[in-house]
Amino acid sequence: MRRPAAWALAALALAGAGCSPSTEPTRVEPEPEPAGTAYFVGAGADGIGASLDLLADDPVVRLVDAAFAARGGERGAEPSVGVVSVVNDRRFGTPVPRFIADLSSGGAVPLRDAADLLRPEDGPQARRALARLSALPRRVPAEGAATAYVVLVAAPPAEVASVRMVVAGEPPVTLAARRR
């Protein structure tokens, strides 16, 4: 609806309710973009898009978390395992994209493939996680979808303002923060 028509309808509604409309229109401020949600969504004009949940909880995330916990490490520096869902509407397949977290502080951190951070010698939890991760496709099929697991290291999920999806040979696509 065009703005003048909306104002006319609002004035009629107020007059019908026994009120007189103000000469000043009420300003409605746009809702600010969410920050620190750890959930991001975006799509490029070329037919590829993704969602990323850095606070996901599924069996694979729990396996990877258990492998990191068994390995030990500095408290407070626990990595955050995220689930990526990539959709490809194009007529040709593509490798699973890479992702870069843009932090609210102005920095950027690459999100690492979870399988790249685990080693079989890290123990039985790591071997179980690697077995599940190795079963995932490394390519997103034409007119299809794929799931990937990424890890945010060196920053908490709440500090991620947006995420860039990098597809080979394409301009980066911004995944914007969304409410859950």
SS (H, E, C) the chain: CCHHHHHHHHHHHHHHCCCCCCCCCCCCCCCCCCCCCCEEEEECCCCEEEEEECCCCCHHHHHHHHHHHHHCCCCCCCCEEEEEEEEECCCCCEECCEEEEEECCCCEEEEEEHHHHCCHHHCHHHHHHHHHHHCCCCEECCCEEEEEEEEECCCCHHHEEEEEEECCCCCCEEEEECCC
Residue 47: predicted pLDDT: 92
**pLDDT single digits (tens) 111-124:** 999 999 999 999 99
| pTM of the model as a whole | 0.78
Portions of the chain given CATH number 2.60.40: 33-177
What are the pLDDT digits (tens) for 37-81? 899 999 998 899 999 999 999 999 999 999 999 887 655 567 999
Q: What is the pLDDT of residue 72?
A: 75
Highest mean pLDDT among 5-9, 75-79, 157-161: 157-161
CATH of 33-177, one of 1.10.1760, 3.30.410, 1.10.10, 2.60.40: 2.60.40
